[in-house]
Amino acid sequence: MTIPVATYDQSMTRDRTLTTAADARTPNHVAIIMDGNGRWARKRNLPRVAGHQAGTNNLRRILRACVDQGVKILTLYAFSTENWRRPEDEVNGLMRILETVIERELDELDRNGVQVRHIGRMDRVPAGLQAKIKSAVEKTRHNDRLILNVALNYGGRAEIVDAVRAMLAEGLNPDYIDEDTISRYLYTCGLPDPDLIIRTSGEYRSSNFLIWQGAYSEFYVTDAYWPDFDENELKKAIEQFNKRDRRFGGLSR
């Protein structure tokens, strides 16, 4: 279980001047299920790993767009606990790509004030990639312009299992366990829940992603494959979010 290295600082949003209704409704925390890399590659008669490469190349564009839009936390579903079932060559290729991306982008992320966090389990992640993830987390831990959660070897059910195990290990009294207690034991401890969850490629599934934290999130689905999800697509998602009447559990009229 990876424990976040710092808690969310509410001052990150208090110092922003909100001048319009659209600004006021900018989602503070956006999470993205980055789907469609394989289909993007297949349409171009390319191997699936080429789609994963194109998907990672898209990260810089979306990070910049999130900063421009005023998003303060971005959570990306990079690799699920179920993805280990994919062909070995595809998994190994993706792991190599992720190592390369960290090497290539870390210095710029740090210069631009991005704090990198890992959410998920470290078991089964190759040792070299583990070392690079830990280095990225440590190097950027004091940055506060944008928090980037990378959900790698992540599963929502596994996260809840890990939270329960941690509570039992610490001997918590069941009578004092409530929703706030459970939230403190999740990988996202100290962060607000996502306001908006985006899924690319047109699929209408949560795929075991942030199933606790996303209970009251707004969902937005686009047919665009992840490598094609650009600044305009993000803007469309936020504009749609601005039109929603968030009820946090209340029934629609």
Catalytic positions, please?
35, 83
- Pairing relation of β-strands 73-80 and 29-33? parallel
Nearest CA to 71 out of 211, 194, 218 is that of 194
Q: How many CA atoms lie within 13 A of 129 on its CB side?
A: 21
Element (H, E) at 153: strand 146-154
User: Structure tokens of 87?
Assistant: 């062909």
Q: How many CA atoms lie within 13 A of 174 on its CB side?
A: 1
Helices 59-69 and 88-111, interaxial angle, to 10°? 40
Q: Which residue is associated with the tokens 């280095």?
A: 135
Q: What amino acid occupies position 214?
A: G
- CB neighbourhood size of 227 (10 A): 23
Give residues with Cβ within 8 angstroms of 129, minimum separation 6. 95, 98, 99, 102
Burial category of 107 from C-beta neighbours within 10 Å (exposed 0-12, middle 13-18, buried 19 and up)? exposed
- CB neighbourhood size of 28 (10 A): 19
